[in-house]
Amino acid sequence: MRNRYKKYTGLFFAVLFTGLFAGVVNGLFGTGGGIIIVYLLSRLYAGSSEYQTKDIFAMTVGSVLILSVASLVMYASCGAVSFADTADYLLPAAIGGVFGAFLLDKTKATLMKKIFAALVIYAGITLIFR
């Protein structure tokens, strides 16, 4: 019985600290928290029959929404956000998000993993050379 609680206590702290780290990274850089959450969830549910890769990406979107709203509130309270500057791409981003969610069910998990990896690598290389 004790081993079971030890397992869940370790899992709780792993999720807690990873979530905190994802929040700090997302707040600091404005992005990146989702990558950390995808990594955590893919390790956490590796080999699970309960959650597929698509489920992990969907859960990450929900987590990133909360991270982004928290960051937005902090940036707005400091006066670092100009809503007039963001208005131009809010509607296209929302439409793209709906379209991407629609494609989630239509796309194979292996292709999604490759696309995700390519985007992460591209973003990393772009940031290094700017």
Cα–Cα distances (Å) from 75 to 2, 25, 68, 72, in that order, read 44, 14, 10, 5
Q: Which long-range contacts (CB under 8 A, 24 or more apart) does 99-105 make?
A: 101/58, 101/61, 104/54, 104/57, 104/58, 105/54
Report which DSSP code applies to 47. T
For residue range 27-53, list pLDDT tens digits in order.
888 778 888 898 888 888 887 778 888
For residue range 80-120, list pLDDT tens digits in order.
887 787 888 888 988 998 998 888 888 888 898 899 889 88
CA atoms of 120 and 129, how far apart (whole Å): 15
For residue range 3-35, list pLDDT tens digits in order.
555 667 777 888 889 889 988 888 888 778 888
pTM of the model: 0.70
Cβ atoms of 60 and 38 closer than 8 Å? yes
